[in-house]
Structure 1
Amino acid sequence: MDPFEARLQFIQILEALNPSSVTLSRAIGFALKNMEMHEDFHSVILEELDKIDINARMNVMYFIEALVHNICSQNSSRELRQRPYLANIERDFHIILQKVIPSDNLVNLNGSVNILVEVEKCYNVDDSELWRSYLSLSLGKTPEIPEEVEKGFPEAWIYLINQKKRGLEARLKLLHDKPTAQEVEENGEKPLNQDLEQLSRKQILQRMEADRERHKRHKETNWHVIRPLGKVDRAEFEKIWHQYSALDDHDLEEMRDLYQEAAESYLA
């Protein structure tokens, strides 16, 4: 497949994305099959995020998360960031977030935070301090945020923190200075909470259905553990090991009772 045809086909696949696992698997399969095109495909992702609506951008975010998971779980002799897609995604993640969570619409904020947390696990990146700063940010509490951070995921966290702060400030203003309906009409002001105002009824229903589908898929896959084939992480082993007590006389007595009940049931 020549580069131009591959690019066009990838655009069509991204535009057809929805919360179902079928379209997601198709997109991941195409991206992995044509990994030599990863530079072009990365630019396609950035361009498409500018064109599609706010709900569809979240579908692309879930595609990025799934793609990263697939690449990181592959057995490869190459270092993590030398594998296709990964370096570009890390470098431009803050740009991706700017497109998925524009300043005038924060509806994708919480979902994007969850995706960033999962993506960082694949990269073995620990930004727990910035994550805690995001979580602790509230109407009455503003944690200290570093003025300068490293490029990549830390930069993405700063953008998320600033967007959450902006949303809280808008809510606070709405609580203290809420105009009456007459004042809004006279001044021609737009509501401060514009996130839902900018979504049509059809888009809201589509978003509700999409979130239900994602939640269902998450429940089906949240037991997955990414680890090298045939190996168990030490922390995981110790958790399971200490979860159960050693076999003692009481356990043996219960086992004998159960055996006796089972034997009697066969004779009945």
Structure 2
Amino acid sequence: MDEMDPFEARLLFGNMLDNLTGAQPTIDRVSGFALKHTAMADDLLDCIADKLDKLQVPPRLNLLFVVDAILISSNRSSSQTWADLIKKNIVATVTAVIPETPGGDSNVPQVRKVVSGWKRKSVFDKGIMEKLDKLLGKRSGGATSESGMRHEDILKRIEEDRERHKRHKEDVWIRPAGEVPENELELYWETASDFNDADWQEITVENEEYQQERQLAEIVRRSM
């Protein structure tokens, strides 16, 4: 079978991004295509950047989920190709997903979880993680009507978030291929800290999401 040329790859990948949703199967399909064509990583990342500029703020989160899926999969195989390319613009990418607007606020809780996963798996170096932590700061939020999202879109996102959370819990224990068991222990030993402001912040985010789900569930109940 002939190798796909860059133009064809960009065209197909762009079409896939046009049909991207927050559902895990679509994220897996897009990230799987990217990983299969790592030789064209630069071109495919350009497609993601172009799409990021054109989308309204709330659905930009789905593009970050694609980037996250690519990073996690490549990290499992101990491949640095994607991480080395993505890290060049990752701060700008996250900034575009969480601008200081109602739409950006709606993306903050999920972005915080994604960034937490990168930190736990040491996907990026300390300098980049510090920039991302500073970017997120003490911001909080969630999907609301004020973010410009329709009621049905908010409910859809909540359901997609639940499914993603299940996948996230399964992924927590996956370590890079070929890792020496002692390395995992050393990582937790070095990175574990006393209960601090960051922990309080994470609890606050989880509580906000819980309260939001309760409120939306009540709205749905009353509308039935």
- TM interval, short-chain normalised: 0.5 to 0.7
Q: Distance in 2 between matches of 1:101 and 1:25?
A: 23
Structure 1 match to 2:106: 107
Q: Distance in 1 between matches of 2:133 and 2:20?
A: 26
Deviations 1:190-247 (A, max 9, x none): xxx996322222322222222222123334x14532133484235549x9xxxxxxxx
Higher Cα Rg: structure 1 or 2?
A: 1
86 and 2 in structure 1: CA distance in 2 versus 1, 3 angstrom threshold = same
Structure 2 match to 1:154: 130
> Per-residue deviation at 1:104?
1.1
**Matched residue count:** 181
User: In the alignment, is the contact (CA less than 8 A) between 2:52 and 2:60 conserved in 1?
Assistant: yes
Is 1:71 the counterpart of 2:77 in the alignment? no
Q: Distance in 2 between matches of 1:236 and 1:194?
A: 37
Deviations 1:79-103 (A, max 9, x none): xxxx322123212112111211122
The one-letter code sitting in structure 2 at the alignment partner of 1:65 is D
Which range moved further: 193-202 or 97-106? 193-202
Q: Distance in 2 between matches of 1:155 and 1:223?
A: 23
Q: Distance in 2 between matches of 1:17 and 1:233?
A: 39
Structure 2 match to 1:189: none
Q: Distance in 2 between matches of 1:216 and 1:58?
A: 18
User: In the alignment, is the contact (CA less than 8 A) between 1:68 and 1:122 conserved in 2?
Assistant: no
Unaligned 5+ runs, structure 1: 77-82, 128-149, 169-192, 240-268
195 and 23 in structure 1: CA distance in 2 versus 1, 3 angstrom threshold = closer
230 and 71 in structure 1: CA distance in 2 versus 1, 3 angstrom threshold = closer
User: In the alignment, is the contact (CA less than 8 A) between 1:113 and 1:160 conserved in 2?
Assistant: yes
Deviations 1:124-154 (A, max 9, x none): 5575xxxxxxxxxxxxxxxxxxxxxx5x333
Deviations 1:12-63 (A, max 9, x none): 2223233443222222221112112111111211111222344432222222
Q: Distance in 1 between matches of 2:41 and 2:35?
A: 9
Q: TM-score, normalised by structure 2?
A: 0.68
Deviations 1:151-176 (A, max 9, x none): x3332222211x72xx69xxxxxxxx
Unaligned 5+ runs, structure 2: 189-224
Q: Distance in 1 between matches of 2:29 and 2:160?
A: 18
The one-letter code sitting in structure 2 at the alignment partner of 1:201 is H
**What is the percentage of aligned positions where both structures have the same residue?**
27
Q: After the TM superposition, which parts of structure 1 deviate over 4 Å for at least 4 consecutive aligned residues?
A: 124-127, 234-237
Structure 2 match to 1:96: 93
User: In the alignment, is the contact (CA less than 8 A) between 2:97 and 2:107 conserved in 1?
Assistant: yes
Structure 1 match to 2:222: none
The one-letter code sitting in structure 2 at the alignment partner of 1:205 is L
Is 1:84 the counterpart of 2:81 in the alignment? yes
> Per-residue deviation at 1:121?
3.5
Is 1:58 the counterpart of 2:34 in the alignment? no
39 and 223 in structure 1: CA distance in 2 versus 1, 3 angstrom threshold = closer
Picking from 212, 218, 221, the partner of 2:168 is 218
Q: Distance in 1 between matches of 2:11 and 2:106?
A: 29
Structure 2 match to 1:2: 5
160 and 234 in structure 1: CA distance in 2 versus 1, 3 angstrom threshold = closer
Q: TM-score, normalised by structure 1?
A: 0.58
